[in-house]
Amino acid sequence: MRKVLLTTTALVALGGVSAASALDISGYQRFSYSSWDDTAGTAETGGANDTSFFNRNRMNFTHEIVSDSGLTVGGYLRLQQTNTNAVTETYEEVYVDGDFGSLRFGNRRTAGASIYTSVINNGDFLARSGQTAATDFADTRTNPMATTTDGAADLSATYASPNFNGFSLMTTYQDGGDAAGESDDTVEVGIQYAGSLGSAGNFSVHALNADTDDSTGLADDEIESSQFGFEVGTGPFRFNFQREIETRTDSDDTENREIKTNEYAVRYAASDSISLGVIKLASDEKLDTTNNPKLDSMIYGVNYTVFPGFLLQASHMTFDYEGATDNDGSSTTVGLRVSF
């Protein structure tokens, strides 16, 4: 849902612009509770709390101007506040759309943040493990997204092509900033095809590659992430698959890390107000023959729309990690979300 806050009129005679620019606001507020249990040892024996409340408040601001020639220019800003009672995340974007496609400048709709079929990354269901992924699930991934494609990390410039008979292309150049130099810059290229299965449904497939010469805090000289996947919809069912492979190469061109992650998902629209989902994730690191890191997890989720704008969510997750410190357990999360 959106609400018009302010409307102005721009009249630029020489530029051929005569359009109304409306500032729209949308977003949601969410409050949730999670309870988890694991076997990692320190959290349980050390008396750490294994239950917690969480909140998220998100606001999106959008405005657009359309020229007489059909060119659209606009801006977007997203602010998000979580448990710390401070703004913890911002996404912004300035864009120009026309028959040529779309140019986007900012950190919102990069190629890697736009072309994917991961249900986990899309956030369709509210689920959390209660674990710290970097330590409790070390050298594995909790979603199959190319790890160098976090749109919030750095500002970027993106080109998205028009749709050519179902095909579309996006490419992004992400600048790591002056302090990082060129070594932190990332290039993403993705292609997607969407088609129809006639009366049976529809489908889409995609492939994406992201390459960076270095990553903050790591001594590796190159990180390459590639992902591909598909989505098929038929009747009330949607089937998703996505695979991501991350390869890290050191200064003498020797591969020192290869993480492969697969996600399988089935979603079922039981009614206009109830949706169900089952998601399986498997991730492992192939080159660490000492610890043999491996993560398997399952997510069972349900969403219930009480009425438009009011959503109840619940999920149960199980996880089994093998690595330097084995860890397996489960987590249950419930939440309510009010959108505006």
| Pairwise pLDDT comparison (136 vs 11), residue with the higher score | 136
Q: What's the average model confidence in pLDDT over 27-53?
A: 79
- Is the CA virtual torsion 194, 198, 202, 204 positive or negative? negative
Neighbour-count burial for 100-115, b at 16+ CB within 10 Å, e otherwise: eebebebbbbbbbbbb
| 162 or 12, higher pLDDT | 162
pLDDT at site 21: 66
- pLDDT, residue 46, reads 47
Average pLDDT taken over every residue of the chain: 86
24 falls in which pLDDT band (50, 70, 90)?
very high
Where do the DSSP E strands lie in the chain?
3-12, 17-38, 51-66, 72-81, 87-98, 101-106, 156-160, 167-174, 186-196, 202-212, 222-234, 237-249, 255-269, 274-285, 294-307, 310-322, 327-339
Please give the pLDDT value at position 340: 94
Residue bearing the bigger pLDDT, 84 or 133: 133
Summarize pLDDT for 262-293 with one digit per residue, the tens: 999 999 999 999 999 999 999 999 899 999 99
pLDDT of residue 219: 53
Tokens of 204: 């889409």
**Which pLDDT score, from 0 to 100, does residue 14 have?**
45
Q: What is the mean pLDDT of residues 149-174?
A: 85
Share of the chain above pLDDT 70, in %: 83
Position 12 scores a pLDDT of 47
Would the CA dihedral through 99, 100, 101, 106 be positive or negative? negative
Question: Distance between CA 37 and CA 17 in Å, rounded?
Answer: 60
The answer to whether residue 9 scores a pLDDT higher than 60 is no
Task: Decide: pTM greater than 0.95.
Answer: no
* Closest alpha carbon to 82 in 126, 34, 31: 31
Instruction: Looking at mean pLDDT, say which of 87-96, 126-135, 237-246 comes out highest.
Output: 237-246
Measured distance CA(219)–CA(249) in Å, rounded: 10
Report how far residue 80's alpha carbon sits from residue 324's, in angstroms, rounded to the nearest whole number. Answer: 35
**Rounded average pLDDT over 235-250:** 93
Burial class (CB in 10 A: 0-12, 13-18, 19+), 1: exposed
Looking at residues 208-228, what average pLDDT do you find? 75
Residue at token pair 């805090």:
217
Arithmetic mean of pLDDT, 313-340: 95
Q: Which two tokens stand for residue 212?
A: 């960076």
Read off the pLDDT of residues 81-106 as tens digits, 9 standing for 90 and up. Answer: 988 777 877 889 999 999 999 999 99
Q: Where are the alpha helices (DSSP H) in the chain?
A: 42-45, 111-114, 119-122, 133-136
Asked whether residue 155 carries a pLDDT value surpassing 60, the answer given is yes
The pLDDT of 6-12, averaged and rounded, is 51
Q: Is the confidence at residue 133, as pLDDT, over 90?
A: no
Work out the pLDDT band at 230, boundaries 50, 70, 90.
very high
pLDDT tens profile 36-46: 998 875 545 54
Report the pLDDT value the prediction gives residue 54, as an integer from 0 to 100: 94
Burial (0-12, 13-18, 19+ Cβ within 10 Å), 47: exposed
pLDDT tops 70 at residue 4? no
Domains and CATH numbers, the chain: 3-339 (2.40.160.10)
The confidence score (pLDDT) of residue 185 equals 79
- Please tell me the predicted confidence (pLDDT) of residue 294: 96
Yes or no: say if 208 and 116 are a contact pair by the CB < 8 Å rule: yes
pLDDT score of 90: 85
Query: What pLDDT, on the 0 to 100 scale, is given for residue 236?
Result: 97
